[in-house]
Structure 1
Amino acid sequence: MSANSSRSPLIDIVKGLACITIVWHHLAFYGPMSDIAQPLAPALMAFLYDYGRMAVQVFLVVGGYLAAASLAPQGVARFDHAGNAIAKRFVRLVVPYAVALVVTVVVSALVRTWMDHPSVPEAPTLGQLVANALLLQDLVGEDALSAGVWYVAVDFQLFSLSVLVWAAVRALPGPWAQHHRAALARGLIVAGAAASLWFFNRMAGLDMWALYFFGAYGLGILAYWAVQAPRAHAWVAAMVLMGGAALVLDFRGRIAVAVVTALCLVLVMRRGRSSQSAEGRSAPWTGRVTVALQRLGARLARVGQMSYSVFLVHFAVCLLVNAVVGTLWPTSAAVNALGMLLAFGLSLAAGRWLYLRVERHVPSWSTALRWQAGLVGTGLLVALSNNWA
């Protein structure tokens, strides 16, 4: 999800679709606008509420795919030092993350003064602020400051685990290990993904740890290797076997989404871009449809490029719009439905601002520390003002 990932239009389109789905899932999940607008489209609201969250599996698969592309495209570690790779990832994730959480803490404090609703977070504590700043909130039992930020912590764990596996294989002594390190690393990734799909992902108590999600992430890694391989049959067979066995053991819709996403990535990325119709051989309506699809794809790709920033900041935007619309028009289903559309549009605009101003710039440790300190300081001021009030 980081800004420096190698770009592919298809990957960005997939990320854009997943990002839009997550925003709408949260719009349906967190009221009051969705509660008021629900009679207008009850089936759609129920679908977004129950199944929209499965788009996270798409991000997990794509995250593994991009990790393999940048860290070990041939199965062998391409980075120089594991600690440096992990540190760079932490800083790149944390800077826009901390900026977005500062916004969320301030918006929550503002909204809390006039809207009493379960979706509004409580005033933060010092322990909660520090845990969120360090991506440790779920591991130490603290509440998240914003919706969906658990994924950032899990993404960092998955990336770090992958780096450590590849670095450990590279460090194995002896000529045999050095000669077979690509096969060893790939075998460990396959084994880890299978263990996650067949065992760890079936243990709900592990849902704050990388092992719970490594099945989907590992499928993404395998998908990249399948795309790069001269023949993809063995990789595809391994993905089908692992995913199929996992679903036979315990059918989980989220795992089915991950398997389908990984297989589709292999199919489409190996085929490459679809060739355009020869000039003058397509009907006029076909040309117009092609242009429309290209424009839609370009817009989705732009959303995909800034998907991390949109993911981070959309909850604050949705919370603010919920408070205003739900307070001024508490009974109008039509106005609240329009409010949901407004919240979606403003979320994209805020995400673009965060992407352009923060995410796409190369951060430093000093920048990360300043924003982490700013998050803790802002949260403490909010908590103190809440106590005084």
Structure 2
Amino acid sequence: MSSSSSRTPLIDMIKGMACATIVWHHLVFYGPMSDIAQPLAPTLMAWLSTYGRMAVQVFLVLGGYLAAASLAPQGLARFDHAGSAIAKRFVRLVVPYAVALMLSVLVSALVRPVMDHPSVPDQPSLSQLVANALLLQDIVGKDALSAGVWYVAIDFQLFALVVLVLAGIRALPGTWARRHAAGLTRASMVVGAAASLWVFNRMGELDMWALYFLGAYGLGMLAYWAVRAPDPRGWVVAIVLLGGVALALDFRGRIALAVFTALCLVAALRSTRVQSWRGVEPLVRLGQMSYSVFLVHFSVCLLVNAVVSQVWPDSPVLNALGMVLAFGLSLAAGRVLYLRVERHVPSWTTALRWQLGLVGAGMLVVMTSHWAA
């Protein structure tokens, strides 16, 4: 990101904490180690199972913040071609995503014979593999191959939607439209966020579409423009009004968290002292590789669950230690994926190769299962 306020150690720290929360939420939610360890910390387990998923709202707000920084820091589209910007985003997302899903398919096949548990994904079909590879699984009604991958599809939809809106405003004819393009962009994001927060986010059947999540994403974009504005009060009022009306219409804890996150970003990142703070190094590093950790952690946790549940099926202490081990190994695996895959600039050839690898690995699992039967 070109703006000094678009990417700071604080942003990475927040991402790191949200990522850790999501990993622990899945460790508790899916089991079976958490089922055995639950008596050791029932209150913490219940909180992580119920509320840990809300950390996704933090990612949505941060995603909007960083999208505004890269796509329209001044309210004007800074990319040349909408199709090129969207294609680059797809490739950046899908390469580590396909690698992680391939691992999930293989690990699921490995543990399926020894662990009969709802957390183990079923044997994939060809249509399911293709849908997951193209980020279409929820839209076409296919099961995800790994926990949390719905977020990758939503992130791509949101980014593409913002790009198309910006490109559409830039293409408007007339001198007036060109003169007021920045204002039109910002107004469109406020209107879009309002429509999402007040209407679409209250319709659960839309949760596979960007419009359902545009409210939190839009709040992040508004937060970025507030940080960059000479006087942020107008933006702060807009964030408070958007969130306040949404909560008055239908109180949702996840929306309250999104509003709180956006306001905290404005307050913190307008501070020169905070911007110059180097942060807590382990959390900064975790934030930098949070996408890779998010992608790969389910496979790691599934494998550790299978081993621990077979060897120590009744020990709360050892199952709790297994959860800690799974968390640590998830960070290690995420770092490998980050360093070996995510950090490298991908190409369409790379993306296609890994997508075909994902489909091929899934079909190999299916054929091997048929042969074994």
TM range (shorter): over 0.9
Q: What is the rounded CA distance, in whole Å, between the counterparts of 1:83 and 1:363 in structure 2?
A: 17
CA deviation profile, 1:260-302 (whole Å, cap 9, x unmatched): 00000000000133499xxxxxxxxxxxxxxxx977x111010
Distance verdict in 2 for CA 1:345–1:18, change over 3 Å: same
1:147 is matched with 147
2:175 is matched with 175
2:348 is matched with 365
Alignment of 1:299-338 (within 5 A): 299-338=282-321
Q: What is the rounded CA distance, in whole Å, between the counterparts of 1:114 and 1:46 in structure 2?
A: 27
How far did 1:383 drift? 1.1
Q: What is the rounded CA distance, in whole Å, between the counterparts of 1:274 and 1:374 in structure 2?
A: 44
2:25 is matched with 25
1:193 is matched with 193
Q: What is the rounded CA distance, in whole Å, between the counterparts of 1:270 and 1:192 in structure 2?
A: 25
Alignment of 1:276-355 (within 5 A): 297-355=280-338
Alignment of 1:41-60 (within 5 A): 41-60=41-60
Gaps (5+ residues) in structure 2?
none
Runs of 4+ in 1 over 2 A off after TM superposition: 272-276
CA deviation profile, 1:120-168 (whole Å, cap 9, x unmatched): 0011000000000000000000000000000000000000000000010
> Counterpart of 1:273 in 2: which secondary structure?
helix
Q: What is the rounded CA distance, in whole Å, between the counterparts of 2:206 and 2:21 in structure 1?
A: 25
Distance verdict in 2 for CA 1:100–1:386, change over 3 Å: same
How far did 1:387 drift? 2.2
Which amino acid is 1:86 matched to? Answer: I
Distance verdict in 2 for CA 1:275–1:243, change over 3 Å: closer
Gaps (5+ residues) in structure 1?
277-292
> Counterpart of 2:230 in 1: which secondary structure?
coil
Q: What is the rounded CA distance, in whole Å, between the counterparts of 1:235 and 1:60 in structure 2?
A: 18
Q: What is the rounded CA distance, in whole Å, between the counterparts of 1:356 and 1:154 in structure 2?
A: 24
1:378 is matched with 361
TM normalised by structure 2 equals 0.97
How far did 1:384 drift? 1.4
1:212 aligns with 2:212: yes
> Counterpart of 1:114 in 2: which secondary structure?
coil
Distance verdict in 2 for CA 1:254–1:334, change over 3 Å: same
Task: Let me know the Cα RMSD of the aligned residues.
Answer: 1.5
Aligned residues with identical type, % of pairs: 75
How far did 1:6 drift? 5.7
How far did 1:7 drift? 3.2
Q: What is the rounded CA distance, in whole Å, between the counterparts of 1:316 and 1:182 in structure 2?
A: 44
2:99 is matched with 99
CA deviation profile, 1:321-341 (whole Å, cap 9, x unmatched): 000001100000000000000
